[in-house]
Amino acid sequence: MKALVNDIKARIKDPISTEELSDLLFQLGHENNIENNIIDIDITPNRGDCLSLLGILRDLKNFYEIDAKYEIHEEILDSFNLNFFNESVESCPNISFLKIEIDETTLDYKAYLESFFSELGNKKINFFTDISNYLSYELGQPTHCYDFSKLDGDIVLRTSKERMQFETLTDKEIELFDNNLVFEMNNKVINLAGVMGGKETACSDSTTSALIECAFFEPESIIGRSVKYDLNSEAAHRFERGVDPVCQEFVLRRFINIVSDHAKIKNVKLYTQGIKDLNEISININRQKIEKILGISIEEEKFINILENLGFRIENESIFIPSYRNDIFSINDIAEEIARVIGYNNLPSNQVNLDKLSNPLPSKSVETFLRKTLTLEGFSEVINSPFTENQSSDSFFVDNPLDSNKNSLRTSLRESLTNNLLYNERRQKDSIKFFEISDVYFINDKKLSRQKKLGIIASGRVGNNYEEFSKQINEKYLKDILISKLSLSDFNIEMISRENLDTKIKTPIFFVEVDLKGMQRQEVDSDLLKEINKEIKYKAISEFPTISRDISFLIKNEDKINIVNGLVQEFKNKILREQFIFDFYKDNKNGVTKIGYRFIFQSNEKTLTLEEVDEVMKIVIETIISDKEIEVPGYKI
Amino acid sequence: MSQNKKLFPDLVKELGTIHPITQIKSEILTLLEEIGFDSIDGPEIETEEYNFDMLNIKKTHPARQMHDTFYVQNKDFVLRTHTSPVQIRGMLEQKPPIAFCSAGKVYRKDDDSTHLPMFHQVEGIYVDEDVNFSHLKDLIYKIVTSLFGSKVKIRFRPSYFPFTEPSAEVDILYEGSDKWLEILGCGIVNPKVLENCSIDPNKYSGLAFGLGVERMAMLRYEVSDIRDFYKSNLDFLRQFK
């Protein structure tokens, strides 16, 4: 909720800095952000009572002397007859109406009201609606204003299950469906209760006679409606979280007071129906229990003080909960109240010892063994979402998928891994080796069945070094890893056909999937694995195409091999992504060594031109062949 | 062939990458196991009973709406929205004193640069006689210091979760920064949840905490778009080793 810092400060009697206020609200559990005298407070869903100036001020009473009294119309109010029928008392136990008639409307507001619009950025709509919106900000209770002259029938409040058309006061036409709590007149919806009123009976600039409705709606009858009909409603936000069930008359009297600040009231009357006395809820005082929950000791006087300042009434051995606190049920809730006021950061911390519970350090799982072994072989792990468009007879379906095409849950890792492979092929990768370890779910005889699977996919070169560069991944390569490295015997390597895949690449794709059930863990040679570097900072990757260049050096003096290699590996350039030896051949007979390097170029900003790449290559080559014992066949300076 | 080893350039065999999310997940689980938590595991397809009811999340809670939760098989099941139902299963099987941790995929109907329909959580629960808020604080200090280093400042503030009461959210502040970052939620297990698992709340109390793995990974590695973790781009994955 957004509020003017000055609206809060004005009611705190002691001087308080904005920073102090912000920190204190954080301590109380109200995350906030202050900018230009506007505080945006993130109220947790259990604290609907704090969605107003009054609510915030009530929470601050343990720290400052606060004036939380708002002037109301104190005089006795006459009642009037309204043909109102509440057919949904369970959803709306308490409701009051105010009939108010003024001489003329104004948009020239007093400072407190004006600032709600000009400083807090709310839009003026019309006189009565403006007061209603402001009041909601001030006291947290939404009210709805009907133009009295537009009401020409009985008003019925009921829970409707029919499909009905409704035009909101924001000119939006919606079709109501399922359960809705609605106000009807002449069999037409005039107000979607607690969410938004209708256009037909709404107030306008010229309205001088209004009917103000002030009700308590059970959150259950409001929840989800504003989302369902895509309506932006402050009122629904408040009703969903729960408003004070017994504040109607007070709020309407405040309404009168604000009206009287701006216009001459010709006539005002109150209609109330079936205001139930709320059963005051109480909890037994159990200070020891609270001390036990928080791990502190607290004096009784301080304890009582904190609660009374928060509006709780302490009587005999009971704590009576104020009507606006619908989030307090148990002694744990009271403990949280005490803790908030003391400050979580000021509560002690005591060493906890779980040693007595622990088994000797648990053994690393099969999964860890698989991950480490496969990464040593150059395979990278991927994680995929389970949603797929490919449905099989035993797959689960999602009732409300994000993407209506992908409404099934995968039963195999094959499709996801194939997509991962193609994605990287499109980015010019020619040695792709992936694995994934994931649960998959099946319906088995109407029951849920769960399997943990390892999927491996590979295609292209075995690796990017001079021993592996010219070798293509084949069935034997994968089979050797599965048998000798993973000690698997029961598996089926599949060659995935490229026929139906959107690709022009021809290298065969090999895929294997195994159930991890019953797999035994084995030791990994831990010396081979470096600790993962925690200091890594991610560098954004480029989506522009790469260009690669191969170059071979003939070295006549073998002492120069490492010099050449050093020069190449250390060469850096903004557009050079990587370089590696893809070919190494020592011709002993002729006494020459041939080293082939691949250079891969890519820019973060654009598609590179061949000229740009050649320019860099020229520097590399000419630096190296300045030595007479090294040459690039066919290349002349 | 007679080859002089010294003259040969090193044969560089490129290692693969363990997914950064797995790395962080394992790191947290290992830490919790060292403290004394037992790692347990549960299904990603859950019933509403375990995912919501047992955790004191009422039928009317916004999280249960179709626009927040994936429902499965004509609402017979849900895709779990948090790893907490695993704790419920643990508590139904074993009686206190107990300390469980679990990690895994969870699902919510979100999709933007900071939220995904699938993400990972790690959480822990400890139930024993006389477990209180001061123990929770101690434990959180241990976890946060281990994950983010001893130089970060830690702040606790009240929050709301149906399954803990009191509830807290924990923020950290890096040295030299002025922006607090939210990193985990925790609290004292709501007595109703213990009761739901047939654990006497008058005798036992518990602490619980949970954190989002992607969020931690994004903070540590400075990844700004959560979707990057799941594109399976080799250029991305290669950076995390």
CB contact under 8 A, A294 and B134: yes
Give the pLDDT of residue A155.
97
Give the pLDDT of residue B2.
44
pLDDT, tens digit (0-9, with 9 covering 90-100), for A492-525: 999 999 998 988 899 999 999 999 887 776 666 5
Residue B6 lies in a domain: no
In the structure encoding, which two tokens stand for residue A624, read together? Answer: 């190296």
Spell out where A333-430 has E strands: 380-381, 387-388, 408-409
Find chain B residues with C-beta within 8 A of A532's C-beta. 18, 23, 240-241
| Domain harbouring B174, CATH code | 3.30.930.10
pLDDT, tens digit (0-9, with 9 covering 90-100), for A462-495: 988 888 888 999 999 999 999 999 999 899 999 9
Lowest mean pLDDT among A491-500, B1-10, B217-226: B1-10
**Chain-centre distance of CA B61, in angstroms?**
21
3-state secondary structure A211-262: EEEEEECCHHHCCCHHHHCCCCCHHHHHHHHCCCCCCHHHHHHHHHHHHHCC
Least CB–CB distance from A335: residue in B43, B135, B166: B166
Question: In terms of pLDDT, which residue wins out, A523 or B91?
Answer: B91
In the structure encoding, which two tokens stand for residue A253, read together? Answer: 């009297």
Residue B240 lies in a domain: no
CB contact under 8 A, B11 and A296: no
Residue B203 lies in a domain: yes
Find chain A residues with C-beta within 8 A of B134's C-beta. 294-296, 347-350
Does the pLDDT value for residue B151 go beyond 60? yes
The predicted model scores a pTM of 0.89
CATH assignment, A2-59: 3.30.56.10
Give the pLDDT of residue A529.
53
Least CB–CB distance from A399: residue in B16, B71, B98: B71
A193, with CB counted inside 10 A (0-12, 13-18, 19+), is buried
Residue with tokens 């062939």: B1
Q: With bands split at pLDDT 50, 70 and 90, how would you rate the model's confidence at B70?
A: very high
* Residue in chain A nearest B108 by alpha carbon: A402
CB contact under 8 A, B43 and A584: no
A366-527: which CATH topology? BirA Bifunctional Protein; domain 2 (3.30.930)
CATH assignment, A547-631: 3.30.70.380
Residue B3 lies in a domain: no
Does the pLDDT value for residue A527 go beyond 80? no
Domain total for chain B?
A: 1
Cα–Cα–Cα angle for A627, A628, A632, rounded to 5 degrees? 85
Does the pLDDT value for residue A256 go beyond 50? yes
CB contact under 8 A, A448 and B77: yes
3-class state of residue A617 by DSSP:
helix
Q: With bands split at pLDDT 50, 70 and 90, how would you rate the model's confidence at B3?
A: very low
pLDDT, tens digit (0-9, with 9 covering 90-100), for B177-210: 889 999 999 999 999 999 999 999 999 999 999 9
Tell me the C-alpha distance between A510 and A457, whole Å. 6
Give the pLDDT of residue B12.
78
pLDDT, tens digit (0-9, with 9 covering 90-100), for B29-54: 989 988 899 999 999 999 999 999 99
Q: Tell me the pLDDT of chain A averaged across its residues.
A: 92
Mutation choice for B interface testing from A218, A383, A465, A558 by most B CBs within 10 A = A383
CB contact under 8 A, B70 and A399: yes
Q: What is the mean pLDDT of residues A375-402?
A: 94
Asked if A73 contacts A100 with a C-beta cutoff of 8 angstroms, the reply is: no
A78-273: which CATH topology? Phenylalanyl-tRNA Synthetase; Chain B, domain 3 (3.50.40)
Give the pLDDT of residue B112.
82
A282-346: which CATH topology? Phenylalanyl-tRNA Synthetase; Chain B, domain 1 (3.30.56)
Tell me the C-alpha distance between A47 and A56, whole Å. 10
The DSSP letter of residue A397 is B
% of chain A surpassing 70 pLDDT: 96
Tell me the C-alpha distance between B43 and A448, whole Å. 9
Give the pLDDT of residue A534.
75
CB contact under 8 A, B133 and A345: no
Tell me the C-alpha distance between B58 and B50, whole Å. 12
Sorted by sequence, the CB contacts under 8 Å of residue A526 that are 6+ apart come out as none
Residue B9 lies in a domain: no
Q: How many helices and strands, by DSSP H and E, does chain B display?
A: 7, 10
Mutation choice for B interface testing from A227, A331, A349 by most B CBs within 10 A = A349
CB contact under 8 A, A565 and B43: no
Does the pLDDT value for residue A278 go beyond 70? no
Residue B241 lies in a domain: no
pLDDT, tens digit (0-9, with 9 covering 90-100), for A87-132: 999 999 999 999 999 999 998 999 999 999 999 999 999 999 999 9
In the structure encoding, which two tokens stand for residue A210, read together? Answer: 């209004």
Spell out where chain B has E strands: 38-39, 45-46, 71-72, 77-79, 98-107, 118-128, 153-161, 164-173, 181-189, 205-212
Fold match, A78-273 / A547-631: no
* Residue in chain A nearest B136 by alpha carbon: A349
Select from B124, B98, B106 the least CA-distant residue to B31.
Answer: B124
Residue B22 lies in a domain: yes
Q: What is the mean pLDDT of residues A205-215?
A: 96
CB contact under 8 A, A385 and B117: yes
Domain map of chain A by residue range?
2-59, 78-273, 282-346, 366-527, 547-631
Asked if A601 contacts A575 with a C-beta cutoff of 8 angstroms, the reply is: yes
Question: How many CB atoms are closer than 10 A to CB A535?
Answer: 6
Count CA within 13 A, CB hemisphere, residue A115. 13
Does the pLDDT value for residue A359 go beyond 70? no
pLDDT, tens digit (0-9, with 9 covering 90-100), for A155-203: 999 999 999 999 999 999 999 999 999 999 999 999 999 999 999 999 9
CB contact under 8 A, B22 and A383: yes
Give the structural domain span for B149: 15-233
* Residue in chain A nearest B14 by alpha carbon: A378
Give the pLDDT of residue A468.
87
Tell me the C-alpha distance between A499 and A508, whole Å. 11
Q: What is the mean pLDDT of residues A531-554?
A: 86
